[in-house]
Structure 1
Amino acid sequence: MTVREEKFSDIEVEEVSEFEDADFEEDRVGSRSRPWLLPLLLGTGLGIAIALGGIRLLANRSAGQQKPVATKPATSIAPSMTVTVAPVETTRVARILNTTGTITARDLIPVLPLTNGLQIKQVLVKEGDSVKQGQVLAILDDSVLQDQIRQAKADVESKQADVGSQQADLASKQAAVATSQANVASRQAVVQQRLADVAQAKAKLEEATQNLRSYQQLANAGAISKQELLTRTTTVATAIEAVRLAEANVKSAEQDVLSAQAGVKSAQANVNIASANINSAQAAVRSSNAKVEQVRTQQGQTVVRAPVSGLIAEKLVRVGDMAGTPPQAVQNGIQNGTNNSAPQRLFSIISNGSLELQALIPDIQLPQVKIDAPAQITSDIDNRVRLQGRVREIQPLINQQRREATIKIDLPRTNLLKPGMFARAAITSNTAVGMAAPQKAVLPQPDGSASVFILSGEDIVRAVKVEVGEIIIGGRVEIKKGVKVGDRLVVDGAGYIKDGDKVRVVNRQ
């Protein structure tokens, strides 16, 4: 029905209504004379009203189905949200290699007893304590060593007394040597005297011999008597005997010198023996003193000190245990054939508290791991653990059964991790050029996907699904698919808008 037809219908309805009113008035005037006419008029009027209402309803439905000839201009839509935007940019994206492993001590130092067989008297630390180098960890009972020190000191005193006795004997022997040497000198002087006597006797013999020759010539000449010649002959014979006797005395004196010299040698030998005895006694004293020092050193070793600074990882002794003696469980291990010949340690110290993560990497991924590569460490049981480590070592051997290699990742000092804990590592293997956007611009969806709002034009947003990659430092995330470089993404306010909304941009980054 057209607008003209609607108007015509309205006029027609009005004319019928006026006609009804005139008839009704006429009938009302004449109703008194015709009472049967009133019900008839009422029924007729009600039927006409129902018919006109149906015609109007059909006309309205027809008008709704037809396109209007002219419409009023639409009113402007106000922005639904104030937002900020940021462009999609190119950046270098670090590729992450995820692995798991066990927290271990980088350098676990065993603390061994320096003296075995002594009872533990005091234990001054417990597991988890932080200690400094040289700090006392435990004290051993030194009563046995004190008895040994007293015994060794008594032995030293005895040896020193023996040295004194030997030194007195040496002095006596040395005096005997001096006496023998003086006797030798005296005998040598006697020899010299005897030699002088021999010379004198020989001089007298020479004189007597010359006189005898002179008297022989005189006797031959008859100048002297035979008795005078005989006297001179006797004098020569006497001189010869005197020479022989003097020479015999010289030999006797020389024999006395030799005897005295032998006495000197004997006395010197005694001196040497006495000196050797002194040396032996002094050596015994030194040995006893060394034993005293040794026991004193052992006594000093009854104080167990920390060899390095760090954390106590293990405390393996109690008060009353014997230092160096394995516990019963270890003894059972020895009985079962286990080799436990190594000294039993008392404590284990994590040197400087340094920890490392020993993680396993499949051999096919091993080329992706580099020394000094950064790694982020997390824990499934403690969400506070979020540490930055660094790959320190890649062990050269690969497990032949699992085809895995072990890498060691240095960790910063922390109280959140303990040796033996399980941890995860995200190792940065390499970097590549990719697209990045603020992480706040990416909205997770219930189906596990992600989407962003791209600013289309100046104020209309369009929802787009994207494929997200690695998390980038600085609150950004890699976007692999769904956008292109330069697209403007809604950041602040992205969670409060929907596809097609009109927004107000307050700043553009």
Structure 2
Amino acid sequence: MNYETHFASDALGGMDADDARAIKRRRIIIAAVVILALVAIASWVAIRGQGAAAPVEVGVQVPVVTVVTPGRSTVDRTVTTTGSLGARIDMPVGVVGEGGQVTRVLVQPGDWVTEGQVLAVLERSVQSEQVRSLAAQVEVARADAKLAQAQLDRAKSLVGRGFISQADIDQRTATRDAAAARVNVAIAQLGEQRARTGRLDIRAPAAGLVLTRTVEPGQIVGSGSGVLFRMAKGGEMEMRAQVSEGDLQTLRVGNRAMVTPVGGKDSFAGQVWQVSPVIDPQNRQGIARIAIPYNPALRPGGFASASMISGSGTAPLLPESAVQSDPKGSFVYIVDAKNMVQRRDVTVGQVSDAGVAVTSGITGSEKIVTSAGAFLTPGQKVKPELLKAT
């Protein structure tokens, strides 16, 4: 027995070489079988996993969504802006005459007055005496004229007897005419003084609403005193709306508008009565003046927002719930012919109680998802239920 045979025999506990080789082959076969079994198990698990995924996909419920085909509706084009409130015709009232000391102020801000109504009275003691003096001079002139007329009449009765010449008649006629002229002069002077005295009453130039008062009894006023009262003619108000250059081109006199004062919930109907013919070169804006009937909630100097109708057109009209928005802008979800959800970017126009007008992005013939858009994703399969557009 050689060295190798002796070693193998020792290792296998005394087995011979043939037995050792047989055991080694069995071990190799067992290892190969185990490896094949593991590969088969792995393949079976993979096939089972793929086979299980398909039933799960089939078993998922397709969401039902309500869609609408809006078509195209007639909608108003509007211009929304802000501006300040004021009197449509602002009337400043000051001293017309020579002025003086204010003795009485007869109105307060918020009072309604008629045309010519006295707002304040100035002291007039000197002027009253001048009026009485001139009135007396009128009486003197009338008496002189009456006397001259009587003398002329007597002279005419004597001229036929030859006691009075025609020259005397002409002289007495001239005297009578001069006396009558002096009467007219006196009357005119009296009228002038009465007018001057009347101008000491500060009167309303037209019927309207008193807005402000800056005069008190005892104050000395004159032609340089500035505005003592400010009035709104007829109580009519307006909003001076700041409108962009582009929007101003679409506005016309007579366009309807709704004005909402800041801090208030009520809106007031008005109409554009003047569109600015110029554009401010600094801010590229113009003024649209909106006439509004008087209301206590409309306070001159206040701030307001306005929505002006600048025309009409046709556009798809959607419920507000159908329009979504994200950092990229506004969009809607449409359902295509394969019932797959697709995103469509849109431009939103006028928003009203009737819905949201879409100015671009859709034609109105698409199936638009009206609700649950926030839970959908592009490419998702859905089951649409058509809702008839109203």
TM-score normalised per structure 1: 0.52
Residue 176 (structure 2) pairs with residue 278 (structure 1) = yes
Counterpart of 1:438 in structure 2 is: 319
Residue 409 of structure 1 and its aligned partner are, at CA, apart by 2.8
Partner SS state of residue 180, structure 1: coil
Q: Work out the CA distance in 2 between the residues paired with 1:159 and 1:452.
A: 95
Pick the aligned partner of 1:351 from 206, 209, 233.
Answer: 233
Q: Deviations over 1:265-295 (max 9, x none)?
A: 2xx4334333333333333233333433444
Counting only pairs closer than 5 Å after superposition, residues 172-191 of structure 1 correspond to structure 2 as 173-174=155-156, 177=159, 179-181=161-163
Work out which of the two has the higher radius of gyration on C-alpha atoms and give 1 or 2.
1
* CA deviation profile, 1:270-327 (whole Å, cap 9, x unmatched): 3433333333333323333343344444555554443333333443433334554323
Q: Give the secondary-structure state (helix, strand or coil) at the position aligned to 2:317.
A: strand
Larger strand percent: 2
In structure 1, which of residues 105, 109, 114 is the aligned counterpart of residue 91 of structure 2?
A: 109
Kindly tell me the number of residue pairs found equivalent between the two proteins.
Answer: 343
Q: Which amino acid aligns with 2:240?
A: L
The residue number in structure 1 matching 2:365 is 486
Unaligned runs of 5+ in 2: 1-40
- Structure-1 separation of matches of 2:363 and 2:316: 8
Cα separation, 2, equivalents of 1:423 and 1:387: 11
Distance 1:372 1:164, change over 3 A: closer
Unaligned runs of 5+ in 1: 1-57, 182-263, 328-343
Alignment of 1:180-259 (within 5 A): 180-181=162-163
Partner in structure 1 of residue 290 of structure 2: 410
In the alignment, residue 157 of structure 1 is paired with which amino acid? E
The whole-number CA distance in structure 2 between the counterparts of 1:88 and 1:455 is 13
Residue 470 of structure 1, CA deviation: 0.6
Tell me: CA distance 1:318–1:69, structure 2 relative to 1, closer, same or farther (3 Å).
Answer: closer
**Aligned runs of 1:121-140 on 2, under 5 Å?**
121-140=103-122
Question: What is the match of residue 159 of structure 1?
Answer: 141
Q: What is the percentage of aligned positions where both structures have the same residue?
A: 25
SS of structure 2 residue aligned to 1:411:
strand
CA RMSD, Structure 1 to Structure 2 (Å) = 4.8
* Structure 2 residue aligned with 1:508: 388
Tell me which amino acid in the other structure corresponds to 2:316: M
Q: CA offset at residue 371 of structure 1?
A: 2.5
1:147 Cα deviation after fit: 1.6
> Which stretch has the larger CA shift, 308-317 or 373-382?
373-382
State the AA in 1 paired with 2:291. L
Q: Quick one: which amino acid aligns to residue 317 of structure 1?
A: V
Q: 1:171 to 1:133 in 2, by over 3 A?
A: closer
3-state SS, counterpart of residue 116 of structure 1: coil
